[in-house]
Amino acid sequence: MSTSPLRAVTKETSFLVGAFTVGIFYTYPEALLGAGAPVPVLALSFLWIFGAMLWGAFGVVRHADCLAVRLGEPYGTLILTLSVIGIEVSLIISIMLTGSANATLARDTMLAVLNIVLNGMVGLSLLLGGLRHGEQPFNTQGARSYLAVLIPLATFSMILPRYTTSTSDPSLSPVQQITFALIIVMLYAVFLAIQSKRHKSFFQQPSSHPGIALSFLLEGKKEGLEPDTMSDHHDDEHGNLEIHSTPYHAALLLLTMLPIVLLSKKLAVLVDFGIDEMALPVALGGVLVALLVLTPEGLSSFKAALNNKVQRSINICLGSALATIGLTVPAVLLVAGFLDIHVVLGLKSTDMVLLILTLALSLNTFSGTRTNMLQGAVHLVLFVVYFVLIFQP
């Protein structure tokens, strides 16, 4: 597709805004982020940096979606997931290295990601899709493959450290950190091989759609379509993208990620200041990181569910949750060991109960072949409970 140079530049506004923001905040750090800066200036700086990083994240998602069209699934979803994890790890490490020590940030971020993804994103996707289409078919083998790996990895990372006796707190010893990191990476690598090579069909939308709503059937009949072909006729989630070459989108994806990574250090200063000065729950730092990296993926998931492509929605949601454990935990443990940062991974009792309930509910939700709005509503209830527990532990 040929595009004029001016149009090509305007399409990459997210990168340009990110690069401009990096230039401003790295040139005038004391005036905009220093201890002597007025509170209104710090608040505006936070909104500016957060907005620029979020805009950049949407740019990353757009290029990942374009690569998904070029390369097909599940490679597009994998690229999107790996990109988001890179942003997430850079944010976690930046905040952990800034200001007062926050040994629980990695744990709080992973817990926030799991609750936002498995309860918030899954719940709203299934609710929206159910309201519009009734029951929606998905590939049970793919969803259960995600959960088969996610459950043991979440247990190793967030539940088991609570009961180990090698340390005096819910953390891991150096030997345990290395061992668990290797186990998690190897198991995640096996999953990626299954997803991308041996059993790609597990993660693709089923060809037949027996659970679509009557209104959609009537709409298809009016246009002379057979039931099995209507899903392809329906609005595709990639329909408004301008697709260029694979190297073009790969290069722009990396360039758009760069300002986000560079700005993570500046955002960390403001997050640490805000939590200390306003006496906010420490767990909000993890929630903020999770919201920043998950918002674009969440919108992609909602759009896919509304377009009756719930399998893509499931790939995005469960893939994000699994990648958070499979990649973020080993990366954080290795970097923490190298930089001598103390990391606490074991959950508190209430958080552990909620996590176990979430995993059990996810197993039930994806045990059949179709989803509906009731399942989405139940997941959203758990999402609300999670936020209540942050402010009222």
The CATH number linked to 292 is 1.20.1420.30
Least trusted range by pLDDT, from 77-86, 244-253, 310-319: 77-86
Confidence of residue 208 (pLDDT cuts 50, 70, 90): low
The encoded tokens of residue 241 equal: 């993208």
Q: What is the pLDDT of residues 318-341, one digit of tens each?
A: 988 888 888 888 888 888 888 888
pLDDT, position 126: 94
**CA–CA dist 60, 52 (Å, integer):** 12
Confidence of residue 101 (pLDDT cuts 50, 70, 90): low
**CA–CA dist 166, 157 (Å, integer):** 15
Least trusted range by pLDDT, from 73-82, 196-205, 265-274, 384-393: 73-82
pLDDT, position 386: 94
pLDDT, position 159: 92
**CA–CA dist 107, 345 (Å, integer):** 5
Contacts of residue 5, Cβ cutoff 8 Å, sequence gap at least 6: none
Whether residue 237 has pLDDT greater than 60? no
Kindly state the percentage of the chain with pLDDT values over 70.
Answer: 87
Partners of 212 in beta bridges: 134
Count of positions (residues) in the chain: 393
Kindly state the percentage of the chain with pLDDT values over 90.
Answer: 27
Average pLDDT on 123-134 reads 93
**CA–CA dist 169, 339 (Å, integer):** 19
Whether residue 82 has pLDDT greater than 50? yes
Average pLDDT on 131-159 reads 91
DSSP state of 89: H
> Which stretch of DSSP H or E encloses residue 137?
strand 136-137
Work out whether the CA dihedral 100, 106, 108, 109 comes out positive or negative.
Answer: positive
Average pLDDT on 174-188 reads 89
* Antiparallel, parallel or unpaired: β 136-137 and 370-371: antiparallel
Number of domains in the chain: 1
Least trusted range by pLDDT, from 24-28, 79-83, 220-224: 220-224
Contacts of residue 241, Cβ cutoff 8 Å, sequence gap at least 6: 62, 65, 66, 69
More confident call, 24 vs 80: 24
Cα first-last separation, the chain: 54
Whether residue 212 has pLDDT greater than 50? no
Average pLDDT on 109-134 reads 92
* pTM for the structure as a whole: 0.81
Give the residue from 85, 125, 58, 87 showing the smallest Cα distance to 321: 85
Q: Which domain holds residue 384?
A: 5-391
Q: What angle do CA 236, 240, 243 make, to 5 degrees?
A: 105
> Which stretch of DSSP H or E encloses residue 136?
strand 136-137
Phi-psi region of 340 (alpha: psi -120 to 50; beta: other; left: phi over 0): left
Whether residue 2 has pLDDT greater than 80? no
pLDDT, position 217: 38
Whether residue 214 has pLDDT greater than 80? no
Helix axes 122-133, 373-391, angle to 10 degrees: 150
